Copies of this chain bind each other. A is one copy, B any other.
Amino acid sequence: MRARNVVASAYIVVTAVLLLVCPENTVGQAPRSRGPLAIVVHGGAGTISRASMAAELEEQYRSKLTEALQAGYAILEKGGSSLNAVETAVAILEDSPLFNAGRGAVLTSEGQAELDASIMDGNTLKAGAVTVLRHVKNPIRLARLVMERSPHVMLAEEGAEQFAAANGIEMVDSSYFLTERRINELQRAKEREEKKKQRAAPDSGGGTVGCVALDCNGNLAAATSTGGKTNKYPGRIGDSPIIGAGNYADNHTCAISGTGDGEYFIRGVAAYDISALMLYGGMTLQEAADTVVMSKLKKLGGTGGVIGLDGKGNIAMPFNTEGMYRGFIDKDGRLEIQFYRD
Task: Give the residues in chain B near A281, CB-CB below 8 Å.
Answer: 280
Residues of B with C-beta under 8 A to A237: 129, 131, 152-156
Contacts known (A157-B132, A269-B272); A152 close to B236, Cβ less than 8 A: yes
Q: Which residues of chain B are near A268, meaning CB under 8 Å?
A: 125
Check if A159 is an interface residue, CB within 8 A of chain B.
yes
Among the 9-residue stretches A12-20, A22-30, A227-235, the one with 4 or more Cβ atoms under 8 Å from chain B is A227-235
State whether B235 touches A163 (Cβ < 8 A): yes
Residue from B163, B267, B280 within 8 A of A233 (CB atoms)? B163
Cβ-neighbour of A243 out of B132, B245, B248 (below 8 A)? B245
Tell me what chain A mostly uses at the interface: helix, strand, loop, or mixed.
Answer: mixed
Size category of the A interface is: 35 or more
Closest B residue to A150 by beta carbon equals B233
Q: How far is the CA of A340 from the CA of B155 in the complex (A)?
A: 33
Q: Flag if A127 contacts B266 (CB, 8 Å).
A: yes
Interface string of A119-137 (1 = CB under 8 A from B): 0000001110101100000
Asked if A201 lies at the interface with its beta carbon under 8 angstroms from chain B, I say yes
A residues whose Cβ falls under 8 Å from a Cβ of B: 108, 125-127, 129, 131-132, 150-160, 162-163, 201-202, 232-238, 242-245, 248, 262-263, 266-269, 272-273, 276-277, 279-281, 300
Given contacts A131-B237, A156-B237, A242-B243, 18 further A-B contacts (CB under 8 A): A108-B159, A126-B267, A132-B157, A150-B233, A152-B232, A153-B263, A154-B237, A157-B157, A157-B158, A160-B235, A162-B234, A243-B267, A244-B245, A244-B272, A269-B269, A276-B276, A277-B280, A280-B281
